[in-house]
Structure 1
Amino acid sequence: MRWFETPSFNFTGTRKMAYIISAVLFLASLGAILTKGLQYGIDFRGGKEFVLQFDSEVSVVDLRENLSNPLGATPEVKLFGQEGNEVLIRTDNESEINVVQDIITSTVQEVYPDNPATVIKTDVVGPRFAEDLKWGALQAIIYAIVIIFIYILIRFRNWTFSAGAVAALVHDVVIVLGIFTILADLVPFSLQIDQSIIAAFLTIVGYSLNDTVVVFDRIRENSIVHKGMDYMPMVNKSLNDTLSRTVITSITTLFVVLVLFIFGGEVLKGFSFALLIGIVLGTYSSLFVASALVVELEERTQKS
């Protein structure tokens, strides 16, 4: 890590390249969301859920594939509990709950004749509750962004910092949503948007904001200490000053989330996958998006 002791990377000088990369990722993500649509989980669509207890462990991947045709759509299938023999099944099948339960139990008996299962819990998520939950999740993200804009504005007394921070946060959330939409049918685990994924998005917002505020604090300090320095070189110096802290924090956090992704079980796959992408994007946006936009807006403000 010695090359982080006195870094001199030209972050602001490469901001136009970063604009191109961010624009491609953002537009591709937005296009995927608008054309394919977000893949909502049962929490947001409404449906039925069942918890089955098997005598021994089963493969959730095999169980999901075998239940797709009988239920008419691919259900959410996740390990439930600590033993590895309890499975949570969620489906948006519109039949009566008893009918759906019979479909699941009969299919399980055919697929696992030597591994009997018992239904230990059933539940129904109503469509009205799902709509309320969807609206509440959207409000949570919008309110978080608005409050962050006001907080940055009060702390740094400069609207360009607020605009840069909020733009970086929207950039991160939209791209993560786009990646989830694109990969929803390609990965062997569920990437449907549910309550845990919303929690992951809010965590990403907090992580990205923390990185951005550290950089902004150094920009403010250097603007006082180096009053004679031009604005762009001063911002570049600030990014290099905080680079060691930014990279080390991101790497150590990535290690923890990677362990969670590998060993956390099926239930936490989507949550930890969102955090993995969010940490990388949050680090990138702090270095190449938020500060670059501050430079751009400051230059335009001074010219006008």
Structure 2
Amino acid sequence: MSDKKVINFMGQRKLAGVLSILLVIASIAVLSVKGLSFGLDFTGGTLIEMHYPETANLTDIRAELREQGYPGAIVANFGTDRDVVIRIKSDGAKVGDAIAASLASAYKGDGIVQRERIEYVGSQVGEEFLNDGGLGLLFALSVVMAYVALRFQFKFSVGAVTALAHDVLIVLGLFSVIELDFDLTVLAAVLAVIGYSLNDTIVVSDRIRENFRKVRKTASIDIINISLSQTLGRTLITSLTTLLVLLALFIVGGELIHNFALALILGVVVGTYSSIYVAANVLLVMGISKDDLIVIDKEGDDQETLIP
């Protein structure tokens, strides 16, 4: 055992447990009452790409769209400052032609505004995206549970999946509260959150398993505190460096990836918390002990020596 200071993380496990339960219940309640503000990928809508002869004024374009009755339209540069992509919730394929014509006539600069592409996503296609996305989330959680159970032990898999479900529900709940569009990019971010949180939980679980096998005559709660203290530096460094990149994307990445970056930022923060307090807390609730991690000796003298 190292001489490094052991932080009593699990001393606050009851408070952390109550906080997590309240956040999850609040998220489920908000999602049940308000739901998510689905983007046009799920609800159906129109995507328009325009090419301007000089730098496009996005403020003027948004103002023109508001006058036409589309205050919630997403307008962003695409590739260069002369190329603009517009995403509008609409229920007709002909809306794109009218909007493109209106924007072209409203342009006061030199040259002609060119219409590059107009695509319409029907509500039926959007519903298929939504169903496939939900199935993808459930499949990811199922595979994670099976993987952790095989690599570690069943109690570890329950803790890992509980932590992942905790992270996903809180991120979705926050998106519901602040009423930001939930589209395919945000769904991709939620799946990325699952991967990030799982990676952190696996590192912590691996250290807990190792210490259960090495440290003798120590209570389960103390072994978990030792393990969390040993992995804390790695967890914080990983989270902080990831957040630096995500904050850069959020601030200067543009409107198209704004919600994607925000979902990942929320996921990293919540995932860091859950890898410390949720997964480990579940292990204690389920009564994890040395007996759960006994290694059967198949090679006689080659068995790992326990550290007293």
TM-score (norm 2): 0.86
String of CA shifts for 1:205-226, please: whole Å, max 9, x gaps. 0100000011111110110111
Matched residue count = 287
Once residues 5 and 273 of structure 2 are traced to their aligned partners in structure 1, the CA distance between those partners, rounded to angstroms, is 17
Contact kept in structure 1, 2:74 and 2:255, CA below 8 Å = no
| Residue aligning to 1:296 | 285
Larger radius of gyration: 2
Structure 2 counterpart of 1:88, from 85, 90, 94: 85
Once residues 135 and 82 of structure 2 are traced to their aligned partners in structure 1, the CA distance between those partners, rounded to angstroms, is 37
Contact kept in structure 2, 1:164 and 1:289, CA below 8 Å = yes
Once residues 89 and 250 of structure 2 are traced to their aligned partners in structure 1, the CA distance between those partners, rounded to angstroms, is 26
Offset at 1:164? 0.9
| Residue aligning to 2:235 | 246
5+ residue gaps in structure 1? 185-190
Q: Which residue identity does 1:78 align to in structure 2?
A: A
String of CA shifts for 1:253-279, please: whole Å, max 9, x gaps. 111222222222221111111111111
Distance 1:144 1:43, change over 3 A: same
Give the secondary structure class of the aligned counterpart of 1:85. strand
Structure 1 counterpart of 2:155, from 136, 147, 160: 160
Once residues 255 and 29 of structure 2 are traced to their aligned partners in structure 1, the CA distance between those partners, rounded to angstroms, is 28
Distance 1:103 1:253, change over 3 A: closer
Are 1:149 and 2:145 an aligned pair? Answer: yes
Once residues 57 and 11 of structure 2 are traced to their aligned partners in structure 1, the CA distance between those partners, rounded to angstroms, is 51
Once residues 167 and 138 of structure 1 are traced to their aligned partners in structure 2, the CA distance between those partners, rounded to angstroms, is 17
Once residues 48 and 152 of structure 1 are traced to their aligned partners in structure 2, the CA distance between those partners, rounded to angstroms, is 42
| Residue aligning to 2:6 | 8
**Segment drifting more, 208-217 vs 25-34:** 25-34
Q: Which residue identity does 1:171 align to in structure 2?
A: H
Once residues 244 and 96 of structure 1 are traced to their aligned partners in structure 2, the CA distance between those partners, rounded to angstroms, is 53
Distance 1:146 1:66, change over 3 A: same
Contact kept in structure 2, 1:80 and 1:87, CA below 8 Å = yes
**Segment drifting more, 59-68 vs 233-242:** 59-68
Are 1:125 and 2:121 an aligned pair? Answer: yes
CA RMSD in angstroms comes to 2.3
Q: Which residue identity does 1:127 align to in structure 2?
A: S
5+ residue gaps in structure 2? 292-308
String of CA shifts for 1:84-138, please: whole Å, max 9, x gaps. 22221122222441x443245325644x533763321111112222111111111
Give the secondary structure class of the aligned counterpart of 1:89. strand
Once residues 91 and 259 of structure 1 are traced to their aligned partners in structure 2, the CA distance between those partners, rounded to angstroms, is 26
